[in-house]
Structure 1
Amino acid sequence: MAAAPLVLVPGYWLGGWAWERVTPLLEAAGHPVTALTLPGLDPGDPDRSRATLEGHVAAVAEAVRAAGPTTVLVAHSGAGKVVTAVLDRDPAAVARVVYVDSGPAADGLADAVPADVTELPLPPWVELEASLDGLSDADLATFRRRAVPHPAAVAREPVRLTDPARRTVPATLVACSFPAATILELAAGGHPMFAEVAELTDLTTVDLPTGHWPLWSRPAELAAVLGRAAGGGH
């Protein structure tokens, strides 16, 4: 049986290039891979102010349709919001969802971004509320050089979810910044960042201790995790 396809969705400030260390390993194992650059995240995009949450959801949904129903949909970091909306609209569209240092969003999730802000640049490292563990100076330099300001509307607009069947899609949670046991404990306690994890009906957790960007800090191990998730999704 053919290896399942994967659609990879990066977090804030990133395009499909962010998966460059992971994609060849998955393809070598036989998986068709689509690494997305969402609207407004291409450095050549002339106007990021036009990018919207709806546009991001539509772009991911289209990639999933093109890949087919055996697809494993992978969300890194803030892409969890977009991917949750995709699952809400068509829970049968994918075979499995994988959250990489990410998780499912709750209805109404939105960042507090002022209405007059059009883009969110990558902040200085000391202001970045995420672990940089495992990244070399060269990694950080590449991140800084290639990062594209994230469209503010995508962060500001609330996600609207209506179909609880999204929670029945088989899910894998790859825990990097925090151990999976800690995430599950916080979810069970109703922590707003993790509460939706407790609602998932078919959840596998995998610990991959590193910082928030395992795409660069532990690409081989992440590719192996994604390959196993895809192997169980078809």
Structure 2
Amino acid sequence: MHIILVPGLWLDASSWGDVDPALEAAGHRTHALTMPGVGASATESAGIGIADWIAATVAQIDRLDGPVVLVGHSGGGNVVYGAVDARPDRVARVVFLDTFPPGDGGSISEFPVVDGVIPFPGWDFFDEADIVDLDPQTRTEAAARAKSVPERVPTDPIRLTDERRRAVAATMITGTVPEAQIREIIAAAPPWAAELAALEHLDIIELGAPEDPAGHWPQFSRPGAVAEAILQAIS
């Protein structure tokens, strides 16, 4: 199976470097992507938005033969879901790594803009639950590899047009939100989670435990568990 790995904000293809060997060893073909404009200046990236990131992922789907699995981390979840909407007949499963599927018009979030781009804001910007399992060395190494993203990408609204996306099998691999809480959200179906509640085939795999909590970047803190969860999702 072809597995397309889409990173979240500030990350590139190398962020999957400790995950994809186990996927390849299990017989799959991995395709880790770097999104357009990552690390580029404001002049070079001013015209790049979320639609361009989705288009880059769709282009990768189109380069491959047969069904694919899409894996999106954090803001990459918006990207892979947009690609599912564009190619619902090509995607065997979509995997959301510590993120939720967006609804039409949804966006990732807002972050400080510096010199026309959005640099990594530093670990202090995030809640403790997000970074609880990142040791100091991992934080230092990951921050050193982080790259700016185009200003428009986090706030651009995503456009979804094909309801067949909801019939594509989906898995949430969750680190920061317990499965029980996700199930409660689905049952309540608030407007912001309407797309989640509308998914026809959803599995949830929980990383960590109360005594060993997982954070928002498990591909750095526990890549083996992330690879195992992806393999479980697509088995």
TM-score, normalisation: structure 1 = 0.89
Task: Report the counterpart of residue 168 of structure 1 in structure 2.
Answer: 167
SS at match of 1:196: helix
Unpaired runs of at least 5, structure 1: none
Matched, 1:221 2:225: yes
Counterparts of 1:179-194 in structure 2 under 5 Å? 179-194=178-193
| C-alpha distance 7-49 of structure 1, shift in aligned 2 (>3 A) | same
Kindly indicate whether the alpha-carbon contact (under 8 Å) linking 1:186 and 1:195 is maintained by their aligned counterparts in 2: no
User: Partners in 2 of 1:85 and 1:40 — Cα distance?
Assistant: 18
Partner deviation per Cα, 1:145-193 (whole Å, 9 max, x = no partner): 1111121211222111121111110011111101111012123223454
Partner deviation per Cα, 1:15-56 (whole Å, 9 max, x = no partner): 001011101111111111000000011469972323222211
Task: Report the counterpart of residue 80 of structure 2 in structure 1.
Answer: 83
User: Partners in 2 of 1:29 and 1:53 — Cα distance?
Assistant: 32
User: Partners in 2 of 1:50 and 1:204 — Cα distance?
Assistant: 36
Counterparts of 1:65-76 in structure 2 under 5 Å? 65-76=62-73
Task: Report the counterpart of residue 11 of structure 2 in structure 1.
Answer: 14
Partner deviation per Cα, 1:62-97 (whole Å, 9 max, x = no partner): 112223332110011011111111111221121100
Aligned length: 228
Runs of 4+ deviating beyond 4 Å: 42-46, 112-117
RMSD between aligned residues: 2.3
Question: Identity, % of aligned pairs?
Answer: 36
TM-score, normalisation: structure 2 = 0.89
Deviation at 1:98, TM superposition (A): 0.5
Deviation at 1:217, TM superposition (A): 1.1
Unpaired runs of at least 5, structure 2: 209-213
Task: Report the counterpart of residue 144 of structure 2 in structure 1.
Answer: 145
Counterparts of 1:1-234 in structure 2 under 5 Å? 4-42=1-39, 47-110=44-107, 111-112=109-110, 118-129=116-127, 131-209=130-208, 210-231=214-235
User: Partners in 1 of 2:90 and 2:73 — Cα distance?
Assistant: 19
